[in-house]
């Protein structure tokens, strides 16, 4: 049901219908109270509503996109003022020729004496009445500027969403592809030796590339699939180290039916290989632990550190991969994650805790 409501609200036409129903009810309340008759108020609103509708769509459909959205603020202000005066004039014409005569007839028919001296004046005199024109200016803007304000909020939200998505795409594309070059070099070496592992390398590499190019465009992916790709990546990296690397990859808990934003775990493992195992002299080691407890994922990567001074060891903190993960977590899991980095004397640890989503629940 929630998904259906979300899909219905996504249609602009539906949102416009909701707004004009709200506007009609609000104007009916105002006019019905003023005339002490809601039936008369509804009739007058039906007469004047075309002016409100025309006014709103000139502002939202022409002035905002043509001037304001393009940064032409002076032109936008001038255009708004011109349209505002023209609409007030149109509103007065509707009152003079349509609504006011109907109101007078409605009260006269019910034997209600209405002291309305202006109705005895000529239509031109009625049109030039300053107070009535000011009232028309006020009445024609009440509902319309509520709609324009909502339009501004909608535009701001859409731009914010677009900017957030652009930033997410940029961060996702910043994943360092060094594993690709390493895998191609390994593939070349194994192919020269006619190794039986060559098809395994090709399959693993193709799975990773297919996943990154096609499946990672979604807001969320299957946790099991993300872990499978992580496993393929680890196998490709292990080929470079053969027996020299000590690696443990442990998964506990039920990963089926869970979903996660793509490529959050891979940079942490990539960092461990590149700046831990790749720079450690002797026997490097990497431990990767995945724990799924109900709706919480705990992902912990620890690795040996290279023999270097303290200043060099801080390079782990400044790497693009870890920085991107932190930024993506803030955007995708606000207040629903914890990401800790521990730079110990002999090891480096990254620990990610976040709330997972069921397959039927959309990412908020």
Per-residue pLDDT, 241 = 75
The C-alpha atoms of residue 263 and residue 229 are separated, in whole angstroms, by 9
Single out the residue of 286, 281, 218, 216 nearest to residue 249, CA to CA: 286
Per-residue pLDDT, 35 = 85
Query: Which of helix, strand or coil describes residue 155?
Result: helix
Q: What is the pTM of this model?
A: 0.58
For residue 104, give every residue at least 6 positions away whose Cβ sits within 8 Å of its Cβ, in sequence order, or none.
114, 116, 119
Asked if residues 237 and 182 have their Cβ atoms less than 8 Å apart, the reply is yes
List 304's β-bridge partners, or say none: 347
pLDDT digits (tens, 9 = 90+) for 293-302: 888 999 999 9
- Concatenated DSSP letters for 92-106? HHHIIIIIHHHHHHH
For residue 201, give every residue at least 6 positions away whose Cβ sits within 8 Å of its Cβ, in sequence order, or none.
183, 186, 187, 190, 236, 239
Per-residue pLDDT, 359 = 64
The C-alpha atoms of residue 293 and residue 39 are separated, in whole angstroms, by 61
Asked if residues 301 and 286 have their Cβ atoms less than 8 Å apart, the reply is yes
Per-residue pLDDT, 288 = 95
> What stretches in the chain show pLDDT beneath 70?
1-10, 163-180, 182-183, 278-281, 307-321, 359-364
Per-residue pLDDT, 252 = 94
Query: Which of helix, strand or coil describes residue 195?
Result: coil
Per-residue pLDDT, 250 = 94
Per-residue pLDDT, 66 = 86
pLDDT digits (tens, 9 = 90+) for 314-337: 454 445 668 878 888 888 898 899
The CA–CA distances, whole Å, from 225 to 22, 39, 211, 212, 221 equal: 46, 62, 9, 12, 7
**Rg of the chain over CA atoms, in angstroms?**
33
Asked if residues 268 and 297 have their Cβ atoms less than 8 Å apart, the reply is no
Structure-token pair, residue 75: 């032109």
């Amino acid at each position: 049901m929630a998904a259906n409501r979300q899909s219905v609200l996504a249609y602009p036409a539906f949102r416009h219908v909701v707004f004009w129903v709200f506007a009609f009810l609000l104007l009916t309340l105002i006019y019905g109270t003023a005339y002490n008759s809601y039936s008369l108020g509804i009739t007058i609103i039906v007469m004047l509503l075309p002016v409100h509708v025309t006014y709103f769509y000139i502002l939202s459909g022409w002035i905002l996109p043509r001037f304001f959205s393009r940064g032409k603020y002076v032109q936008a202000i001038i255009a708004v003022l011109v349209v505002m005066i023209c609409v007030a004039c149109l509103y007065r014409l509707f009152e003079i020729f349509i609504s006011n005569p109907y109101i007078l007839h409605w009260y006269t028919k019910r034997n209600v004496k209405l002291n309305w001296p202006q109705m005895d004046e000529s239509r031109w005199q009625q049109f030039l009445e300053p107070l009535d024109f000011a009232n028309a200016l006020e009445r024609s803007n009440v509902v319309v500027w509520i709609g324009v304000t909502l339009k501004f909020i909608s535009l701001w939200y859409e731009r914010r969403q677009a900017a957030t998505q652009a930033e997410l795409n940029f961060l996702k594309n910043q994943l360092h592809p060094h594993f690709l070059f390493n895998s191609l070099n390994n593939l070349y070496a194994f192919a020269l030796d006619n190794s039986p592992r060559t098809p395994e390398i090709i399959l693993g590499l193709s799975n990773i590339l297919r996943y990154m190019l096609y499946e990672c465009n979604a807001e969320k992916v299957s946790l099991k699939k993300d872990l499978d790709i992580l496993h393929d990546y680890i196998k490709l990296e292990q080929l470079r180290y053969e027996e020299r690397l000590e690696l443990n990859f442990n998964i506990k808990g039920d990963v089926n039916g869970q979903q996660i934003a793509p490529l959050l775990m891979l940079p942490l493992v990539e960092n461990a290989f590149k700046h831990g195992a790749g720079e450690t002299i002797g026997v490097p080691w990497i431990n990767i632990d995945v724990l799924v407890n109900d709706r919480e994922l705990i992902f912990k990567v620890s690795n040996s550190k290279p023999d270097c001074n303290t200043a060099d060891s801080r390079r782990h903190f400044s790497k693009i991969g870890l920085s991107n993960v932190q930024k993506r977590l803030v955007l995708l899991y606000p207040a629903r994650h914890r990401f800790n980095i521990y730079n110990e004397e002999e090891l480096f640890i990254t620990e990610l805790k976040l709330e997972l989503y069921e397959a039927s629940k959309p990412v908020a």
